Amino acid sequence: MSVNADLYIEVKNFYARQMRVLDDLDIERFTATFTEDGSVAHPHRGEKVEGREAMRAKMKSMLPMYEGLVTRHWFDHFLIEPDGDDGLRVTYYSLVTQTGTEDLVRFFSSSSVEDRMVRVDGELRIRERVIHRDNPKYGRVI
């Protein structure tokens, strides 16, 4: 089953906005793109963070590793599908790059991601995000 063009554009714009605030390290605005009880799972790390408050705390603890770097998240190969009565299942590939003061771009990670999205007060929000690191030892996921 597919989604219409307007919804497809809305979802793509959601991610464009979400990644800009993440790359700007705007933790408050980034976590606001999730439901209050939303979660992010990194199965390759054995870690799942649940709730906006826990997400903010985790992200703040990781800020030092981004000092002196420009980080960019690149998403592509979106598959947007209806999920239940009011939700969406969105899967895509993610490539993260980092550039330091020497102007060298390095690849930080490559992953496939699965999001479960819902509407809250008319706005798209992520209820659940699962990130699968592209590494044969973790298996092929999407």
What pTM did the predictor assign? Answer: 0.89
pLDDT band at 139 (very low <50, low <70, confident <90, very high): low
Q: Which whole number is the average pLDDT over 101-111?
A: 91
Residue-level pLDDT at 74 = 95
Distance, in Å, from the CA atom of 35 to the CA atom of 50, rounded to the nearest integer, reads 10
Tens digit of pLDDT for each residue in 7-18?
Answer: 999 999 999 999
Tens digit of pLDDT for each residue in 40-91?
Answer: 998 666 789 999 999 999 999 989 989 999 999 999 999 999 998 789 999 9
Between the CA of residue 97 and those of 5, 12, 19, 45, 90, what are the distances in Å? 29, 20, 13, 19, 22
Q: What letters, b where the CB count within 10 A reaches 16 and e where it falls short, cover 128-137?
A: bbbbbbeeee
Tens digit of pLDDT for each residue in 26-38?
Answer: 999 999 999 999 9
